[in-house]
Chain A
């Protein structure tokens, strides 16, 4: 399956520290889930109690980010690493991450609040509404615009305070574009509890990796549906001459 192949390519190329980060995120999440003393952090409709929920859930959201984001961050982090002086690399990465995480935590508060409101306010299962929101956002040109912006790799100053500012600004803006591309997908696992939550998390991660690997596309409605060129070849197999001088085009493997 091409999607899995693309995702495997992305994970295979992950630098060791990022691989460790993603593994740590998944491990801690699994441990918390299996530990009976803690409440299931993911909402399952009936666990809504008290309004402090939004803030107490933030650590869980941070863990989800730790588990799911490193594969998406590999390329921008490498960009910062490679384009910084060796003695400044640690600082530059820290500033990038600071800006990025700040944005996601702010977005996270909104998402958790939204998930609580959704669960409380409707008779429909919250996950169904979440799915509609995700499908709707996926269809808008804004989704593709966000994905395109995620490919930005700006020039970074090498020396002085300008270098610091560039790293922080890049992390912050990348956080905004990343949240623009992923917020509706991230809402899904927040809306589901139990086994469904554990199905949705890797699915969302797979979708996010594949759509990020895809080259930028013109901004228009429905541009952002995950699709790969290899998929289209199958349709080309059915191409039967609409042309005047038709050599029947059939795909064959190379000799």
Chain B
């Protein structure tokens, strides 16, 4: 029987999973960084910056490192802003789990240890950092290896959050799970549940975050790691908490529970039921060989428990019960939360209920057409205060086409799907990863954002953005892009006859007082996608 990964917040009181996890982390930390199964090398597989690691005293200037050829093969592999995000991280977490299980067994523990997952979207209580990770010492006074003091940003603004509790907006997964397609496109439509198609490991330098990668993945990283610092953004990476920076994130033991949850959400998404009106490849993995066998310019490599390196690619990661992975989640049989069906959407747009369900069954399941630009703001937006508003002008011709596609009469007459609308933040640049903001559309003047969840488009964190902003970085200094499905917001504006020639986009700093003019967005655009 495969190993079962369980929810960390609902483990039984006498459960020893976390106790053994802590002991194993201690043991892996004893292994030298030249050992591919050491805590250090496992962290470096995700990313390593030798200067930062020395600054945090994880290694010293004299620590022997593995040969450069070995580093180039094994280290700095993490896949972000690409459709390889999920399969690469699945192989990463699984290799880690097997190495920890082996260490637990060698320490005299059970031989079936699995990594628990942190489902922060589950309940109010679950948004808190699991308590076993927050105490510096164990009850007997010995060090708790699940606690790392470098987890907490040195300049947390206004002060260290204790306990760490995630904002509900950062972990709202309903919209993420409702995303129909795995594969995103860079044409302005959906960024896809799993990310944008990139032929090479770092794509066409467009740097678009996938939908799951944006929410909840990036926000959890930055809210756990912190390092916010008022309006004078810190350029000192040692002031950020480990989880905020991709080059240190995997050195926080909570990283693995976070990514186990991201991996679980992939399974939950695959269990969504395809409803009438949804295209044939909705809630399915890509079948494109570019994904299954790619990327073409490098191979993914992980160590086994014996330190032997194995190559893998996406097609090896599809079945978690396969011998190489050998795990399931405790909720794998639970029905996923329902997503808005086409007939519900048609009803919300004013089509009579009976006709709506009839249409939803009859609508041709055409794949989406390439997206077209519907409008954009003018000039660069700087996030220099807690709330920054930017007007997004809509092109008159495109707006009329959108309105016509949402018109109840038109919908009731022709079996055609109404358009989808996406909001894009393009060329997001930041000198630090410790930044995060919420994106709203048409918030009423002076309103408290938290009271208006129906205007929330999504969350953007700067996780990985500082690297993407460097001219020599993976996206050539173009920064990152994020995309949000704002169809429900636009539908509502339409039915209220409030869809004019302009949308107002509000960017609200997640931590008040941390806005900075150094964080900028090259353009805010809206795209219309027909079927």
Contact = CB atoms under 8 A, between A and B. Distances in A.
A254 B312 contact: yes
Given A242-B66, A255-B323, A229 B309 contact: no
B153 to A, nearest CB: 27
A2 B297 contact: yes
A15 B378 CA distance: 29
Contact of A6 (B290, B296, B378): B296
B399 to A, nearest CB: 11
Given A6-B296, A151-B476, A216-B472, A235 B395 contact: no
A249 B439 CA distance: 46
Contact of B206 (A5, A87, A150, A153): A153
A249 B308 contact: yes
B205 interface: yes
A243 B74 CA distance: 15
Contacts of B296: 2, 5-6, 9
B205 A216 contact: yes
A236 B324 contact: no
Contact of B35 (A2, A217, A243): A243
B70 A236 contact: yes
A247 B373 contact: no
A230 interface: yes
Contacts of A251: 73, 301, 309-311
A218 B393 contact: no
A157 interface: yes
B199 interface: yes
B311 A148 contact: no
B471 A236 contact: no
B519 to A, nearest CB: 15
Interface in A77-103: 78-79, 82-87
Given A154-B522, A215-B202, A247-B35, A242 B64 contact: yes
Contact of A151 (B32, B376, B475, B522): B475
Interface string A215-255: 11111000000001110110110110111111111111111
A152 B476 CA distance: 6
Q: Of A2, A152, A243, A251, which is in contact with the most chain B CB atoms at under 10 Å from its CB?
A: A243
Contacts of B476: 148-153, 215-216
B308 A6 contact: no
A254 B472 contact: no
Contacts of A254: 310-313, 316, 324
Contact of B67 (A86, A151, A216, A239): A239
A213 interface: yes
Contact of B373 (A6, A75, A83): A83
B34 A250 contact: no
Interface string B191-211: 000000001111011100000
A249 B398 CA distance: 57
B378 A253 contact: no
Contacts of B417: none
Given A155-B380, A229-B72, A248 B474 contact: no
Interface residues of A, number: 59
Nearest to B393: A159
Contact of B378 (A150, A162, A255): A162
B500 interface: no
A180 B66 CA distance: 36
A149 to B, nearest CB: 8
Given A83-B525, A151-B205, A153-B205, A214 B297 contact: yes
A149 B477 CA distance: 9
Contacts of B324: 254-255
A156 interface: yes
A132 interface: no
Interface in B19-44: 31-32, 34-37
B426 A155 contact: yes
Given A78-B186, A149-B471, A155-B427, 5 more contacts: A85-B373, A86-B373, A151-B476, A229-B299, A249-B309
19 contacts: A83-B188, A85-B372, A85-B398, A151-B477, A151-B478, A154-B522, A157-B376, A157-B523, A213-B199, A216-B476, A236-B69, A236-B74, A236-B309, A239-B70, A245-B34, A245-B35, A246-B34, A254-B313, A255-B323
Interface of B: 31-32, 34-37, 64, 66-67, 69-70, 72-74, 186-188, 199-202, 204-206, 290, 296-299, 301, 303, 306-313, 316, 323-324, 371-373, 375-376, 378-380, 393, 395, 397-398, 426-427, 471-478, 522-523, 525
